Amino acid sequence: MSKVVKESLFRHELKYFINYHQYFLLRNKLSFLMSRDPNSLIDGNYHIRSLYFDDIYNSSLFEKQSGILNRKKYRIRIYNLSSNLIKLEKKSKIGQFINKKSITLSINQVKRIINYDYEFLLKMNNSLANEFYFDLKNKIYRPKVVVDYIREAFMLKINKIRITFDKFLKNGLYDIDIFRKDMPLISSIDENYFILEIKFS
C-alpha cells in the first residue's frame, strides 16, 4: 500500500548553468560548509530518473518555456534505477514560490498508470492522487518524456537550505519505461555544463 510523504512548505528555487571549473570550486567550498545529502552514495552522488506527464497541448512544457508564474507539473521519480522508492510528485510554481507534494507508489501502480489503468488513484484517499486522476481523466495527461541525470547535493538546516549540482542531463524521448536500465538516452545539454540549484525556505 502506498503511503503519504510529508508535503513540503513553499520555498524558493534558483537555477543557474555553470561550467566545470565553477562547479569544482563551489563543490570544494560547500564540502566544508554543508552536509552531504544522506541519500548520497559513496562517491557523493546519486542517480535520478523521472517520467514527466503533460496534456495533449504540452501545456506544462509551454508554460515553463514561457515563464508563466502560476503553473504545475506531474512526474514519477525513482532513484538509482531502483524500485525501492517511487514517488508521484506534483510541483507547483505560484509567483516566486515553489511547492511540492508527493506520495509513494508501487512499481505495479506505476505500470498501471502507464497503461491507462488509474482508477485505483481514487481509492487512495489522498488529495494528490485525486487531482492526478482528474487530470489524467479529464485533461488527458499522458507520460511524455523521461529525464535522467546525476545529482550531488548539500544541505544546511538553517532555512532548510539545499544546494544541488545536476550533471549529465539526458532524456529518453522514445521510451517511457523508467525502470529500463539500458534505456537509450540523448544529452539534453552540453556535458561540460552543470545545473546549480539553490533551494531555501
| 153: confidence class by pLDDT, cuts 50, 70, 90 | very high
Report the alpha-carbon distance of residue 185 to residue 171 in Å, rounded: 5
pLDDT digits (tens, 9 = 90+) for 64-98: 777 777 889 999 999 999 999 999 999 998 878 88
| 178: confidence class by pLDDT, cuts 50, 70, 90 | very high
Give pLDDT, residue 59. Answer: 86
Give pLDDT, residue 21. Answer: 96
Mean pLDDT calculated for residue range 28-37: 93
Q: What is the DSSP string of 154-175?
A: EEETGGGEEEEEEEEEEEETT-
Q: Report the mean per-residue pLDDT for the chain.
A: 91
CA angle in degrees (0–180, nearest 5) for 151-13-79 = 30
Mean pLDDT calculated for residue range 30-51: 92
